[in-house]
Chain A
Amino acid sequence: MYLLWDSWCGVCFQKLANIDLQHTICTFLLYIYIFYITIMTSTIDDSDKEKALSVSVDLNNDTSLLIDIPDALCERDKVKFTVHTKTTLSSFQKPDFSVPRQHEDFIWLHDALVETEDYAGLIIPPAPPKPDFESPREKMHKLGEGEATMTKEEYTKMKQELEAEYLAVFKKTVQVHEVFLQRLSSHPVLSKDRNFQIFLEYDQDLSVRRKNAKETFGSFFKNMVKSADEVIISGIKEVDDFFEQEKTFLLDYSSKIKDSTARAEKMTRSHKNIADDYIHISSTLSSVSVDDNTALKKHFEKLSDLFEKLRKVEGRVASDQELKLTELLRYYMRDIQAAKDLLYRRARTLADYENSNKALGKARLKSKDVAAAEEQQQQCLQRFNKLSESGKRELTSFKGRRVVAFRKNLIEMAELEIKHAKNNMSLLQDCIELFKSS
Chain B
Amino acid sequence: MKMATSSERSPPPFPEDLEPEPDEVGDQDSDDGEDIFLGTDNPLEIKMDPSLSVSDITSSTKPLSEASSPPVMDLLSEPASEASSAPMVDLLMEPASEGSSAPMVDILSEPASEASSAPMVDLLMEPASEGSSAPMVDLLMEPASEASSAPMMNLLMEPASEASSAPMMNLLMEPASDDLKEPPKPDIDPLADIINDTPLSEGKTPVAAMPQEPPSDLFDDEPSELFAEPRQSNTAKQQQTSIFDEPDEDLFSEPLGEASKKPQNDFFKEALAPVAKASNVCGPLSDNYNEHPTDIFTEEAITTLPSAVSTVSVNSKTNGVHSDEEEPDIFAEATVELSLDSPRNDRKKKEAAKPSASASAPAPSVSASASKPQPKTLEEVQYITLEEEVEDKFELNISITNPEKVGDGMNAYMAYKVSTQTTLPMFRSKTFTVRRRFSDFLGLYEKLSDKHTLNGYIVPPPPEKSIMGMTKVKVGKEDNSSAEFVERRRAALERYLQRVVFHPSLLQDPDVREFLERDDMPRAHNTQALSGAGFLKMINRATDSLSKMTIKMNESDVWFEEKLQEVEAEDQQLRKLHIMVDSLVGHRKELSVNTGGFAKSVAMLGSSEDNTALSRALSQLAEVEDKMEQLHQEQAASDSFCFAELLADYIRLLGSVRASFDQRMKTWQRWQDAQNMLQKKRETEAKLLWANKPDKLQQAKDDITEWEAKVTQYERDFDRVSATVRKEVLRFEKEKARDFKKQIIKYLESLLQSQQQLIKYWEAFLPEAKAIA
Q: Which residues of A contact B751 (CB under 8 A)?
A: 310, 424, 428
Q: Which of B736, B737, B744, B772 contacts A406 (CB 8 A)?
A: B772
A22 CB to closest chain B CB, in angstroms?
23
Query: At the interface with chain B, which of A74-82, A200-208, A414-422?
Result: A414-422
A336 CB to closest chain B CB, in angstroms?
11
Given known A-B contacts A260-B602, A267-B591, A277-B587, A288 and B769 have beta carbons under 8 A apart:
no
Write 7 A-B pairs (CB below 8 A) sorted by A numbering: A284-B580, A296-B740, A399-B610, A407-B770, A418-B763, A425-B759, A435-B741
Question: Are A277 and B583 in contact (CB-based, < 8 A)?
Answer: yes
Given known A-B contacts A253-B609, A399-B611, A263 and B759 have beta carbons under 8 A apart:
no
In the bound assembly, the distance between CA atoms of A403 and B611 in angstroms comes to: 7
For residue B604, which residue of chain A has the nearest CB? A256
Question: Are B591 and A422 in contact (CB-based, < 8 A)?
Answer: no
Question: Are B610 and A271 in contact (CB-based, < 8 A)?
Answer: no
A57 at the interface (CB under 8 A from B): no
A287 at the interface (CB under 8 A from B): yes
Given known A-B contacts A260-B601, A414-B769, A421-B762, A428 and B744 have beta carbons under 8 A apart:
no
B75 CB to closest chain A CB, in angstroms?
41
Given known A-B contacts A266-B598, A274-B591, A435-B745, A410 and B772 have beta carbons under 8 A apart:
yes
Q: Which residues of B contact A294 (CB under 8 A)?
A: 733, 736-737
B739 CB to closest chain A CB, in angstroms?
10
In the bound assembly, the distance between CA atoms of A303 and B590 in angstroms comes to: 24
Given known A-B contacts A280-B580, A399-B611, A432 and B601 have beta carbons under 8 A apart:
no
Q: Which residues of A contact B366 (CB under 8 A)?
A: none
9 A-B pairs with least C-beta separation = A407-B772, A410-B769, A277-B584, A270-B591, A263-B598, A273-B587, A428-B752, A267-B594, A260-B601
Contact with B along A369-413 (1 / 0, CB 8 A): 000000000000000000000000000000100110011001100
* Residues of chain A in range 332-351 having any CB-CB distance to chain B below 8 Å: none
Question: Are B566 and A284 in contact (CB-based, < 8 A)?
Answer: no
In the bound assembly, the distance between CA atoms of A60 and B497 in angstroms comes to: 71
* Residues of chain B in range 581-598 having any CB-CB distance to chain A below 8 Å: 581, 583-584, 587-588, 590-591, 594-595, 597-598
A259 at the interface (CB under 8 A from B): yes
Contact with A along B555-592 (1 / 0, CB 8 A): 00000000000100110011011001101100110110
Contact with B along A271-283 (1 / 0, CB 8 A): 1011001101100
In the bound assembly, the distance between CA atoms of A200 and B534 in angstroms comes to: 79
Q: Which residues of A contact B594 (CB under 8 A)?
A: 263, 266-267, 269-270
Question: Are B741 and A284 in contact (CB-based, < 8 A)?
Answer: no
A161 CB to closest chain B CB, in angstroms?
14
Question: Are B617 and A432 in contact (CB-based, < 8 A)?
Answer: no
Q: Which residues of A contact B755 (CB under 8 A)?
A: 421-422, 424-425, 428
A360 at the interface (CB under 8 A from B): no
B544 at the interface (CB under 8 A from A): no
For residue B571, which residue of chain A has the nearest CB? A291
A130 at the interface (CB under 8 A from B): no
Question: Are A274 and B587 in contact (CB-based, < 8 A)?
Answer: yes
In the bound assembly, the distance between CA atoms of A436 and B590 in angstroms comes to: 32
B657 at the interface (CB under 8 A from A): no
B481 at the interface (CB under 8 A from A): no
B286 at the interface (CB under 8 A from A): no
B396 at the interface (CB under 8 A from A): no
Given known A-B contacts A253-B609, A266-B597, A421-B755, A288 and B740 have beta carbons under 8 A apart:
no
A292 at the interface (CB under 8 A from B): yes
Not counting A281-B577, A284-B580, a sample of 9 additional A-B residue pairs whose C-beta atoms are within 8 angstroms of each other reads A257-B605, A274-B588, A277-B580, A399-B610, A406-B772, A407-B617, A411-B766, A417-B758, A432-B749
Q: Which residues of A contact B587 (CB under 8 A)?
A: 270, 273-274, 277
B614 at the interface (CB under 8 A from A): yes
A272 CB to closest chain B CB, in angstroms?
9
Contact with A along B605-648 (1 / 0, CB 8 A): 10011110110011001000000000000000000000000000
Q: Which of B608, B617, B621, B766 contacts A252 (CB 8 A)?
A: B608
B485 CB to closest chain A CB, in angstroms?
23
Q: Which residues of A contact B (CB under 8 A)?
A: 249, 252-253, 256-257, 259-260, 263-264, 266-267, 269-271, 273-274, 277-278, 280-281, 284-285, 287-288, 291-296, 299, 303, 306, 310, 399, 402-403, 406-407, 410-411, 414-415, 417-418, 421-422, 424-425, 428-429, 431-432, 435-436
Q: Which residues of B contact A293 (CB under 8 A)?
A: 566
In the bound assembly, the distance between CA atoms of A316 and B737 in angstroms comes to: 33
B180 at the interface (CB under 8 A from A): no
Q: Which residues of A contact B427 (CB under 8 A)?
A: none
Question: Are B604 and A259 in contact (CB-based, < 8 A)?
Answer: yes
For residue A282, which residue of chain B has the nearest CB? B580
Q: Which of B597, B733, B770 contacts A411 (CB 8 A)?
A: B770
In the bound assembly, the distance between CA atoms of A278 and B584 in angstroms comes to: 8
For residue B599, which residue of chain A has the nearest CB? A263
B765 at the interface (CB under 8 A from A): yes
Q: Which residues of A contact B613 (CB under 8 A)?
A: 403
Q: Which residues of B contact A415 (CB under 8 A)?
A: 766
In the bound assembly, the distance between CA atoms of A270 and B751 in angstroms comes to: 18
B342 CB to closest chain A CB, in angstroms?
32
Most buried by B among A278, A295, A310, A414: A414
Question: Are A271 and B591 in contact (CB-based, < 8 A)?
Answer: yes
Question: Are A288 and B573 in contact (CB-based, < 8 A)?
Answer: yes
Given known A-B contacts A253-B609, A267-B594, A403-B614, A411 and B748 have beta carbons under 8 A apart:
no
Question: Are A284 and B614 in contact (CB-based, < 8 A)?
Answer: no
For residue A269, which residue of chain B has the nearest CB? B594
B756 at the interface (CB under 8 A from A): yes
Question: Are B610 and A249 in contact (CB-based, < 8 A)?
Answer: yes
Most buried by A among B598, B611, B741: B598
Q: Which residues of B contact A407 (CB under 8 A)?
A: 614, 617, 769-770, 772-773
Q: Which residues of A contact B611 (CB under 8 A)?
A: 399, 402-403
Q: Which residues of A contact B610 (CB under 8 A)?
A: 249, 399
B649 CB to closest chain A CB, in angstroms?
15
For residue A412, which residue of chain B has the nearest CB? B769
For residue B572, which residue of chain A has the nearest CB? A291
Q: Which of A267, A278, A402 contacts B598 (CB 8 A)?
A: A267
In the bound assembly, the distance between CA atoms of A407 and B615 in angstroms comes to: 11
For residue B622, which residue of chain A has the nearest CB? A260
Given known A-B contacts A294-B736, A410-B769, A432 and B588 have beta carbons under 8 A apart:
no
Question: Are B573 and A291 in contact (CB-based, < 8 A)?
Answer: yes
Question: Are B590 and A273 in contact (CB-based, < 8 A)?
Answer: yes
Question: Are B605 and A260 in contact (CB-based, < 8 A)?
Answer: yes
In the bound assembly, the distance between CA atoms of A259 and B736 in angstroms comes to: 48
B554 CB to closest chain A CB, in angstroms?
24
Q: Which of B584, B614, B748 contacts A431 (CB 8 A)?
A: B748
Given known A-B contacts A284-B576, A407-B769, A292 and B570 have beta carbons under 8 A apart:
yes
A155 CB to closest chain B CB, in angstroms?
15
B140 CB to closest chain A CB, in angstroms?
51
Question: Are B740 and A253 in contact (CB-based, < 8 A)?
Answer: no
Question: Are B598 and A260 in contact (CB-based, < 8 A)?
Answer: yes
A314 CB to closest chain B CB, in angstroms?
11
Question: Are B617 and A406 in contact (CB-based, < 8 A)?
Answer: yes
B458 CB to closest chain A CB, in angstroms?
15
Q: Which residues of A contact B569 (CB under 8 A)?
A: 291
Given known A-B contacts A407-B614, A410-B772, A418 and B580 have beta carbons under 8 A apart:
no
Q: Which residues of B contact A277 (CB under 8 A)?
A: 580, 583-584, 587
Question: Are A256 and B605 in contact (CB-based, < 8 A)?
Answer: yes
Q: Which of A278, A288, A299, A424 contacts B577 (CB 8 A)?
A: A288
In the bound assembly, the distance between CA atoms of A249 and B573 in angstroms comes to: 56
In the bound assembly, the distance between CA atoms of A284 and B583 in angstroms comes to: 13
Q: Which residues of A contact B749 (CB under 8 A)?
A: 428, 432
Q: Which residues of A contact B614 (CB under 8 A)?
A: 402-403, 406-407
A353 CB to closest chain B CB, in angstroms?
27
